Homo-oligomer: A and B are copies of this chain.
Amino acid sequence: MSDPSTATHLDPTSTQDAVELLGLIAYTELASFTRLAADAASAPDPARQLRLVRLAGAALARQERILGRIAELGGDPDAAMLAFAGTFDDYEMRTEPASWWESVLKGYVGNGVADDFCRLAVDGLDAETRRIVTEVLDANQNAELSVAVLDEAATGDPVLASRLALWGRRLVGEALGLVQTLMGERPALGRLVATGATARADDVDGDQAWVFSQLTAEHTRRMGRLGLAA
């Protein structure tokens, strides 16, 4: 197997895998856009509305950046993204937020898990695609706003804080279930994770159990940033 970190010539299989992961990332950004725009429309005040609108715009910009890379790899950008249409429907239905705060936390947890999963798969990509994806993931400022508004709200309201902690556990369970489904349906994702894991450490094979342990550990850290128990 070629070392993906130095590959300049991509074999067709790994390119197809890359396009598949990029399609998923782009679709995730599209879903983020939709959620942020809806949260903006129901924000408690115009200033917060505007912040969320701008985050939605940034999600769209990230989507387009990813689609640009799909085009460079010879794929059909919109088709690769829309191949994932409906992927989150079941997750969405099972995690209908009961309040604006729950919706914000849902974005924080859901995007967090999605980003962490992408970071695990990214090491299986060619160097240039990895650079772009990492840049896109690093540019995501959603978490900062979520932490600010949720921390502020939860600090002053212990009842809200404990409800949100419970909601966070529900969300991460559903998100991990979604990852499991996706890895089952899309072997390319598992191949990228395994390639990346092997490239990083000899004694890690990047199987599903390892993926789950990584995602769970990151989720615990993430909830800690809100002062909430995972």
A residues at B contact (CB < 8 Å): 30, 33-34, 37-38, 40-41, 46-47, 50, 53-54, 56-57, 60-61, 78, 81-82, 85
Given A34-B40, A38-B41, A56-B60, list of 20 further CB < 8 A pairs?
A: A30-B50, A30-B53, A33-B56, A34-B37, A34-B41, A34-B53, A37-B37, A37-B38, A37-B40, A37-B41, A37-B56, A38-B38, A46-B85, A47-B78, A47-B82, A50-B78, A50-B82, A53-B60, A57-B60, A57-B61
**Interface residues of A: mostly helix, strand, loop or mixed?**
helix
Known contacts A38-B38, A38-B41, A41-B38; is A33 also within 8 Å of B53 by CB? yes
A41 surroundings in chain B (CB, below 8 A): 34, 37-38
Nearest B residue to A63 via CB reads B53
Number of copies: 2
The minimal Cβ–Cβ distance linking A191 to chain B, given in whole angstroms, is 26
CA of A47 to CA of B57, assembled, Å: 19
28 sampled A-B residue pairs with Cβ under 8 A: A30-B50, A30-B53, A33-B37, A33-B53, A33-B56, A34-B37, A34-B40, A34-B41, A34-B53, A37-B37, A37-B38, A37-B41, A37-B56, A38-B38, A38-B41, A46-B82, A46-B85, A47-B78, A47-B82, A50-B81, A50-B82, A53-B60, A54-B60, A56-B56, A56-B60, A57-B57, A57-B60, A57-B61
